[in-house]
Structure 1
Amino acid sequence: MTRLPPTSVWPVVHGERRALFEDLQVLEPQQWQTPSLCPGWDVHDVLAHLIDSARTTRLGFVRRMVAAGFDFDRDNAVGVAREKRGDPSRTLAEFGAVLPLTSTPPAALATRLVESFVHGEDIRRPLGIDREYPAGEVAKALAYQVNTTVKMGGGKEMAAGWRLVAADADFVHGSGPEVTGRAIALLLAVSGRAVDPRELDGPGAGDFVRRLQA
């Protein structure tokens, strides 16, 4: 896919961070322990991960991976433990401090869009918080995911064999039975997140959801 310029990515990322920061201001203490869409993490963990990611530089990422034995999961766990505070309100305050940062690991800038949208929903959906994401920008994140292997954090294998069509953006990918849905639902699906079957339509939707569930 076409490389995205920083000027088209960071304003969106910063906007998504600000929106999430505002949404989380009203959480009750017990809500922070709500399981997220990310297996093994509650919403507090996901927020800590977003802080850790926002503070990660290219050189810092390399150093961290060496320290973690090139184990992504181990590195993520260390990062969450480092940024998660005993009081969730303090973690949220730390998130507020990283809102304008433009640090990034050594990966395509599109991953910053993927992270913002997917982790935003990892937190919001279990809490019942709705957000209307910018569909065109979500489609850019989706285009990256369907062309990137699972080993590299993408969803190419999950998208293979289907014709994915965004109902709210200019996005069509692949061939096979058609699956139609909002760009955010398709992005979550190819990113390994559970989606409500009612969010997807088309002759391939049923089998697509069943394969994801398997």
Structure 2
Amino acid sequence: MTENQTHEKPRILCLHGFRTSAKILETQIHKWPESVLEKLDLVYLDAPYPSTGQSGVEGIFDPPYFEWFQANQDFTEYENFEECIALIEDFMVKNGPFDGLLGFSQGAMLAATLPGMQAEGLVLTKVPKIKFLILIAGAKLGGSTYGAPPLAANAFSSPVKCPSLHVIGENDFLKPESIAQLDLFVDPIVLHHPKGHTIPRLDDQSLGIVNNFIEKIQSLATT
């Protein structure tokens, strides 16, 4: 198989949720059928910081658990935001190139900020442009609930132009924030599901949405 043929499969860096892990996200994503997963080259990364408190998945998934960054109680001050992006960039340099990002929960909040900051020349300056995002149970940093870390202050000053798939649960506590996040993107594709703050299994309708999005990003991965 030639290098070009290999790269027809979009290579995606996957960022897990708050106080979970790369292994947990991989387990969650494998609820999706093999017919979807075989079309994607998914790479999972642990966040750099061990959990500083109780994980919401204790008793469901085994530790260890990690965090991308930390915030104070009212989400107006952040710690380790710049540092975690530096770690992500270092991983992308050493293990890339990557075409796009997939994020769940805190990972989705983080992933959503990266194209705008990259366009400003603030982050990910050593790696290719992010071509697409898959955001599951995400929220806007700089929105009504979560303030923006200084580095991300202008991440959404212009609408994010790269293709984006937004997976939103009807019973997710972050649903209002996930809906608000849609306004940040030029042409968001939305997949609604009846569950809560989770990665859902795909019914026939959801499967169609995901497959259509994969077709769209496959063409980007070869360019």
| Normalised TM-score (structure 1) | 0.29
Higher strand share: 2
Which has the higher relative contact order, 1 or 2, with Cα contacts under 8 A spaced 6 or more apart? 2
Higher helix content, 1 or 2:
1
Q: TM-score, normalised by structure 2?
A: 0.29
